[in-house]
Every structure is written in C-alpha cells, then in structure tokens.
Amino acid sequence: MDEERWGFHLFGANFASVEEAELYAFEQWEPEPPAAATDTEWNDWEDRNPTWRMAAELEFHIDSDFVELSGGLDSVVSQISCPAERAEVVAKGSPFTHFIMIGANPNAIWHDRRSRSSQVEPVTRLPESTATVTYLGKYNC
C-alpha cells in the first residue's frame, strides 16, 4: 500500500555546512534568564525569542513542526509521488547544496506578515525566493 505523501513548499539554498543551514531554517533561542531574573528580564527575553531568519525573510508566521531540512536532493525526490514533479525537482535542484521543505497545509504557514489586518487570515500568496533561498515550488498537492 502506498503511503500518502505530504504536500510541501520546497526551497533550495547553498550553505557552507549543515550547521549554517540549521541556523537559517530553524528557530533560534537565547539561553533562558537565571531563576532569579526579574519579570522585566523574563519579558524582555520572551520579546527577543525566538529569532528565525527564514520566517523573517519569507514574511510568514510558520509552525516549526512543519519544517524539514532535507538530507539532499535524493531525499527530497524520494518524498514526491508524481514522476513529473520528481523530474522537475531534479532539474531545478541541481545547483543547491541544501533543501528546506515547509508543509503546504494551512497549519504550517498560518499568517502572512505582509497583511495589513490585525486578524489572522488564511494565507493567499505563495512563498517567494529571498536573498538566501530560492523557491522551487509546491509539491504533492
């Protein structure tokens, strides 16, 4: 029985190392303040954390549970069910050293930071390339 494949947005990038890719693709947290910290110190810490370069560059609120840093192009291709999509990813992906997948379901990318509304609305725009990552498309959807 063929398992259902997850739908995802795919980004390609070139990083010097896995560690550098992780610093970009995932949330970063400062160490927590000491137990003796004041409420103001805790509030300031909460305001600064987490930082997340990818989410900031894409200008979306993203649930980190739906982000995956792939082990390479073969790993990405193995997660795509459609042969035509697999061929497309192979053709588009060869210039990149690292790949980031973000789930395409509404819980993964859940708010557009470009929105002028103070209300959380369904995301209507597709992700775009940034100075760091190239948007390669939406797959298994």
| Predicted model pTM | 0.89
What pLDDT was estimated at residue 52? 96
111's CB contacts (< 8 A; 6+ apart) are 60, 61, 120, 121, 123
Q: Which of 77, 54, 73, 23 is nearest to 129 (CA)?
A: 54
> Which distant-in-sequence residues (6+ apart) come within 8 Å of 103 by Cβ?
6, 7, 8, 9, 63, 66, 67, 109
The domain segmentation of the chain, as residue ranges, is 8-139
Q: What's the rounded Cα separation, in Å, for the pair 107 and 1?
A: 27
**Tokens for 4?**
């259902």
Q: Quick: pLDDT tens for 43-80.
A: 999 999 999 999 999 999 999 999 999 989 999 999 99
